[in-house]
Amino acid sequence: MIISLAAMALGATVPALTSACAATTAPYDASTTLNKDVSAEDIAGLRDIGVSDYGETAPGLSVSPDGRWVALQLKRAVPSINSYCLEIVAVPTEGSGPVRVIDQGGTLLLSAEPRFEYGPVYTGIPVVVRPLWSPDGSAIAYLKRVNGQTRACVAYLDGRASTLLDHGSGDAVRVAWGPDSRALAVTAVQLAQLEHERDIEALSGYHLDDRFIPSSSNRPYLKAPFPTVTRNIDLPSPSATTHRLAPATPAFFGWVEMTGDAGKPQDSVTERLAQNGVMARCRAEACSGRIGKLWKSSDGKEFSFLRREGTASDQYALYHWRRGSGEVVRRYLTKGLLLDCQPTAGTDLVCAHEEATRPRHIVSLDPRTGRMLNLYDPNPEFAVKAFGTVERLYWKNDRDIPAFADLVLPPNHHAGERHPLIIVSYSSRGFLRGGTGDEYPILALAAHGYAVMSFDMPPDIGSFAKGVSAPERSAINRKNWANRRSVESSLERGIKLIEEKGVINPSKMGITGFSDGSSSLWFALINSKLFQAAAVSHCCEEPVGSMALVGSRTARYFEEGGYPGILQDDPAVWAPMSVMRNAHRIDVPVLLNLSSDEYLWSLETIRALRFHHQLVDAYVFPDEYHVKQQPAHRLAIYRRNIAWFDYWLRDILPPQRDERSRWQEMRGDAGPSG
């Protein structure tokens, strides 16, 4: 019997398997993975806790009322059937007993929010599905997308079959428990009437106005805010034969979170406590700065808090402070991520933790001692994978702004050996997966013999200006492309630092880019001669195309932030940034993996490059948005990016026949290709 992905990791109890979960691999066997390099398939098939992002709420953890369980959504991409195995998992916080898989199934739920006043606009970013415990601790409610509709689902800790609730029309967006745990309030967005009115308008033609985002759709978006309806739904009573767990008994929680007031400063422990009615002054240096979550002990005599620190604020520290004492002790420090920490029964916190070569897992952490215990690792096979060294490097750019990167070497690196270098950006925090957007598998590239610079972009220069509005901050960044120059300086100095280590071949370097990182990539190709190959996810900033394709509403926002207007076609302004105007100079082979939602941005640039006989290849992935999420697409992108760099930097032929013949023709053809 093939068991579920969570059970595969820890021998959990499971419900009946859904097709995507049944398609996952056989149970984990350490002997089959010992000393194996990380592959693109390994990264594509990771079991993810929540959303693979470094935001504080990304894991979506939820502690039960009695503090003895933490619930989460676990997802695993299954490229072979282009689907996801989605599970709701309950993990014992005391570290004993099996993990319980209490529900499976559904499709990935993507965020669809208004952009300015119109929407819903899809970006491809998944929704953080945070399970909601019933007051009696016997059940969990969460959002589940089934058959094209998002509905409220109730799953039970005692093993009963889950219940999908029928709230009527529209997609559910919020759920809330009644006080007796026997009913749910389900709020659903209602778009039918707005869509009907748009269909009526279509009969006489849509008026071309602020509702349009031409790059995404040939129909106008709907005017927000969208109407919602909330229904109270009674849950079905359990059958007489159903064994129900006893109601959760009140638990002792050793810590209580001190939340911050929105809009007020969050850079002082003293101020945060005052916002919660606690008059306690901490004068230690550690009590100011980038303060994260803060907890008070149940007796009010102790405090613990998370703080971002380090040269580039790249580390997470946990501090403990006893009231009345001037001593604030750092109990734990990591260069990885420590996210979504919450109090449990007793004196520990439960957190999501990840490091450069270890994917996200669940730990308990004692704020008084710093003792950390592993509770649940959904990817145990990574403990025996072969990794090269990962070294965090620090430097400053020409504006004295701190920057950092993680240098990842191949597992079989030997002293004196020089490797081709690949740049992956634009965040290097936690598990080194595939860079922002997850299209460039860092550890798999290292396993293929590359040194990889996982580059964390420095703070934008506008962020250092105090008391300015968002448009003013953007204008500071845009003026003479100042922030692009700042990033380029950071990148070049970081590469120089790596070159001085003697581990790379500076004549064999590739660069990648996603979203803002793609703008940095194109700026680097125009303004430097460092790179011999490039792979990019988006394109490009051009004087006409950029402003026309975003639509009139977004164009005005950009113009307010200092972006050159559509009529300001000043060659001097665009010389450092426009790929089209520099197409004759960009002689680097460029691969573009584009989403169907955004590929129109690329057409004039691709045509310009091909007109000048430059080496460019491009693919469009259907039904994808800014962040591509289809498992088959992501694995194809991983593989193609690796093959692209193998071919242009190492003369290794690609395994796919069509790519092999096309790339060989590109390399040998000096005539027009457009």
User: pLDDT tens digits for 217-245?
Assistant: 999 999 999 999 999 999 987 654 455 55
Give which of 336, 343, 313 is closest to 64, Cα–Cα.
343
Q: Are strands 171-177 and 222-223 parallel, antiparallel or unpaired?
A: unpaired
Tell me the chain's radius of gyration from C-alpha atoms.
Answer: 26
Q: How far apart are CA 38 and CA 359, in angstroms?
A: 12
Residue percentage of the chain with pLDDT more than 90? 74
Active site residue 207: no
Where is pLDDT greater, at 31 or 348?
348
DSSP 81: G
Give the pLDDT confidence score for residue 123 in this predicted structure.
Answer: 94
Q: Name the residue type at position 11.
A: G
CA torsion through residues 155, 360, 593, 665, sign: negative
Which tokens go with 402?
């701190």
Q: In what order do the strands lie in the sheet with 118-126?
A: 110-115, 118-126, 222-223
Which tokens go with 325?
């004492």
Active site residue 613: no
C-beta neighbour count of 658 within 10 angstroms: 8
Residue percentage of the chain with pLDDT more than 70? 91
Q: How far apart are CA 118 and CA 215, in angstroms?
A: 15
Q: Mean pLDDT across the stretch 638-665?
A: 96
Q: How far apart are CA 77 and CA 636, in angstroms?
A: 13
Contact 356, 431 (CB under 8 A): yes
Which tokens go with 592?
């573009």
Q: In what order do the strands lie in the sheet with 132-133?
A: 132-133, 139-146, 149-156, 163-164
Give which of 472, 450, 448, 447 is closest to 460, Cα–Cα.
472
Give the pLDDT confidence score for residue 46 in this predicted structure.
Answer: 96
pLDDT tops 70 at residue 333 = yes
Q: How far apart are CA 415 and CA 409, in angstroms?
A: 11
Residue count (the chain) = 674
Query: Tokens 């003895």 — which residue?
Result: 68
- Rounded to the nearest 5 degrees, what angle is found at the Cα of 139, between the Cα atoms of 135 and 144? 120
Q: Cα dihedral angle (424, 426, 430, 435), rounded to 10 degrees?
A: -40
Catalytic residue among 598, 602, 633, 659: 598
Contact 229, 190 (CB under 8 A): yes
Which tokens go with 482?
């100042």
Least reliable range by pLDDT among 33-47, 490-504, 589-603 = 33-47
Element (H, E) at 641: helix 631-650
Q: How many H helices and E strands in the chain?
A: 16, 34
Query: Tokens 């502690």 — which residue?
Result: 63
pLDDT digits (tens, 9 = 90+) for 420-457: 999 999 899 999 999 999 999 999 999 999 999 999 99
Catalytic residue among 80, 215, 427, 515: 515
Give the pLDDT confidence score for residue 240 in this predicted structure.
Answer: 46
> DSSP states of 572-604 as a string?
HHHTTT-TGGGTTT--S-EEEEEETTTGGGGHH
Give which of 403, 438, 410, 409 is closest to 424, Cα–Cα.
438
Q: Name the residue type at position 241.
A: T
Give the pLDDT confidence score for residue 241 in this predicted structure.
Answer: 46
pLDDT digits (tens, 9 = 90+) for 606-629: 999 999 999 999 999 999 999 999
Q: How far apart are CA 105 and CA 87, in angstroms?
A: 7
Q: Name the residue type at position 290.
A: R
Q: Name the residue type at position 34.
A: L
Contact 122, 112 (CB under 8 A): yes
Give the pLDDT confidence score for residue 199 in this predicted structure.
Answer: 97
Give the pLDDT confidence score for residue 10 in this predicted structure.
Answer: 39
Which tokens go with 101?
């898989």
Give the pLDDT confidence score for residue 44 in this predicted structure.
Answer: 96
CA torsion through residues 19, 20, 24, 27, sign: negative
Give which of 118, 306, 302, 343 is closest to 210, Cα–Cα.
118
3-state secondary structure of 95: coil
SS3 annotation, 251-276: CCECEEECCCCCCCCCCEHHHHHHHC
pLDDT tops 80 at residue 665 = yes
Q: In which band, very low, low, confident or very high, does the pLDDT at 262 lie, cut at 50, 70 and 90?
A: low
Give the pLDDT confidence score for residue 4 in this predicted structure.
Answer: 41
- What residue spans of 170-262 are helical by DSSP H? 192-202
pLDDT digits (tens, 9 = 90+) for 577-592: 999 999 999 999 999 9
Least reliable range by pLDDT among 407-416, 466-475, 658-667 = 466-475
Contacts by residues 612-615 (CB-CB < 8 Å, ≥ 24 positions apart)? 612/583, 612/584, 613/670, 613/671, 613/672, 613/673, 614/583, 614/586, 614/587, 614/590, 615/587, 615/588, 615/589, 615/590, 615/666, 615/667
What values do phi and psi take at 297, rounded to 5? -70, 160
pLDDT digits (tens, 9 = 90+) for 160-205: 999 999 999 999 999 999 999 999 999 999 999 999 999 999 999 9
Where is pLDDT greater, at 437 or 16?
437
Cis before residue 54, ω within 30 degrees of 0? no
Q: In which band, very low, low, confident or very high, does the pLDDT at 471 lie, cut at 50, 70 and 90?
A: confident
| CB-count exposure of residue 572 (10 Å: 0-12, 13-18, 19+) | exposed
Conformation bin of residue 278: beta by default, left when phi > 0, alpha when psi is -120 to 50: beta
Q: How far apart are CA 209 and CA 221, in angstroms?
A: 10
pLDDT tops 70 at residue 247 = no
Which tokens go with 648?
């242009």
Catalytic residue among 167, 361, 626, 633: 626
- Provide the β-strand partners of residue 347: none
Cα 483 to Cα 204, 347, 480, 562, 563: the distances in Å are 45, 45, 9, 12, 13
Give which of 83, 72, 71, 73 is closest to 24, Cα–Cα.
83
Give the pLDDT confidence score for residue 5 in this predicted structure.
Answer: 38
Q: How far apart are CA 347 and CA 367, in angstroms?
A: 8
Q: Name the residue type at position 330.
A: R
Side-chain-side CA neighbours of 514 within 13 Å: the count stands at 24
Where is pLDDT greater, at 297 or 7?
297
**Over the chain, what is the mean pLDDT?**
90
CA torsion through residues 567, 569, 572, 578, sign: positive
Contact 98, 13 (CB under 8 A): yes
- Kindly list the structural domains of the chain, giving each domain's residue range(s) and its CATH number in brackets, ordered by start: 5-234 (no CATH), 255-378 (no CATH), 386-668 (3.40.50.1820)
Active site residue 94: no
